[in-house]
């Protein structure tokens, strides 16, 4: 503000000076001041007297210095990120009002960044909540929609669209923060699907009591995976191949059967999924979360069932369409 006021004062005094010294009109005096300060090199508006020439010299020294000072400050604001940061915040605020059917990822540390990468690979919309400025900057540099805040606060969860969210993943630094985050989310959305990260058995129990639908311990899963790799490497290789989003030949997917689907009340034999779609039904998860592995051909498909199927990606997409129609 000071720089702009300084430049305006120089232009004003230059204009008044020409009006007083040369007796010019306000517009001619302003025009002469403008071309003098900006050093564009146009001809003089009128012939200048000796005192007019002196005033022009003074205006050149003071005006050019003021102009350079103002434009240097403006360039500094742009280069150092002040303007882009404001524009980015405005764009993010608009995106937060439009996003829906998304996941809320709480935390962008080692675990949270991997979760975000997986969601990106599957083209699933999500927003990141991170309290640490350095991690938030890393998320934004990765092109993610991210908010710097405490995920355990209810007003923050409302701001990132928890009312329209598909689910929440609590992966912040400590068990206590994850418990508070899950509890706050469950209070706001009793029907929300919530996954919590735990580092201990005690934290697992507390997260379940707080309202988490699933609790994952990265250390336990990592240790089990390493043991299984040592004991059954071929099985682990197959599961990795089937669940990798980079694999274009084979994929394992979870497909929900909606009540309006033509598959409802049909047996697996009658649905003829293998012949029609070229997929294998590995398991069926019922609405009570009971898992029916390797179901028999006469097993009925019910509304709300989740079919765990194995097949080519394009075949899975066709089956997903029929399960929804």
> Token digits for 256?
């929900």
Closest CA to 55 of 26, 21, 12: 21
pTM for the structure as a whole: 0.65
- The residue ranges of every structural domain in the chain are 2-79, 99-222, 246-324
What is the per-residue pLDDT for 86?
Answer: 66
Instruction: Collect the ranges in the chain with pLDDT lower than 50.
Output: none
What is the per-residue pLDDT for 9?
Answer: 82
- Asked whether 54 and 32 are in contact (CB, 8 A), the reply is no
Domain 99-222 has CATH 3.40.462.40: no
d(CA 245, CA 84): 34
pLDDT over 70, % of the chain: 91
What is the per-residue pLDDT for 189?
Answer: 94
CATH number for the region 2-79 comes to: 1.10.287.70
Under 8 Å CB-to-CB from 317, ≥6 apart: which residues?
A: none
What is the per-residue pLDDT for 221?
Answer: 86
- List the strands of the sheet with 214-216, edge to edge: 146-148, 126-130, 103-106, 167-170, 193-197, 214-216
In CATH terms, are 2-79 and 246-324 the same topology? no
DSSP state of 44: P
The size of the chain, in residues, is 325
DSSP state of 127: E
What is the per-residue pLDDT for 3?
Answer: 64
Under 8 Å CB-to-CB from 58, ≥6 apart: which residues?
A: none
What is the per-residue pLDDT for 185?
Answer: 95
> Token digits for 200?
């201990």
Q: Which CATH architecture has domain 246-324?
A: 2-Layer Sandwich (3.30)
């Amino acid at each position: 503000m000071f720089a702009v006021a300084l430049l305006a004062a120089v232009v004003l005094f230059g204009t008044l000076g020409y009006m007083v010294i040369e007796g010019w009109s306000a517009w001619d005096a302003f025009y002469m001041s403008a071309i003098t300060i900006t050093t564009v090199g146009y001809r003089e508006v009128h012939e200048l007297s000796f005192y007019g020439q002196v005033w022009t010299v003074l205006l050149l020294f003071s005006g050019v210095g003021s102009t350079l000072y103002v434009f240097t400050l403006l360039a500094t604001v742009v280069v150092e990120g002040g303007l882009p940061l404001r524009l980015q915040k405005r764009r993010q605020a608009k995106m937060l009002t439009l996003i829906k059917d998304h996941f809320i990822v709480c935390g962008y540390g080692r675990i949270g960044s991997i979760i975000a990468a997986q969601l990106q690979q599957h083209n699933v919309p999500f927003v990141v909540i991170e309290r640490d400025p350095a991690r938030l900057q890393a998320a934004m540099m990765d092109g993610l929609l991210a908010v710097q805040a405490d995920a355990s606060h209810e007003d923050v969860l409302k701001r990132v669209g928890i009312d329209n969210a598909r689910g929440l993943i609590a992966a912040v630094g400590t068990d206590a923060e994850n418990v508070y985050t899950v509890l706050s989310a469950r209070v706001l959305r009793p029907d929300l699907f919530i996954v919590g990260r735990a580092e201990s058995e005690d934290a697992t129990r507390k997260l379940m009591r707080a309202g988490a639908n699933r609790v994952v311990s990265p250390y336990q899963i990592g240790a089990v995976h390493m043991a299984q790799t040592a004991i059954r490497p071929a099985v682990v290789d197959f599961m990795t191949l089937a669940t990798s989003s980079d694999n274009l030949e084979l994929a394992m997917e979870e497909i929900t059967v909606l009540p309006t689907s033509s598959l409802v009340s049909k047996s697996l034999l009658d649905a003829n999924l293998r012949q029609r779609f070229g997929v294998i039904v590995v398991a069926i998860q019922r609405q009570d979360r009971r898992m029916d592995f390797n179901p028999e051909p006469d097993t009925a498909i019910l509304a709300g069932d989740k079919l765990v199927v194995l097949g080519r990606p394009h075949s899975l997409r066709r089956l997903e369409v029929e399960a929804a129609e």
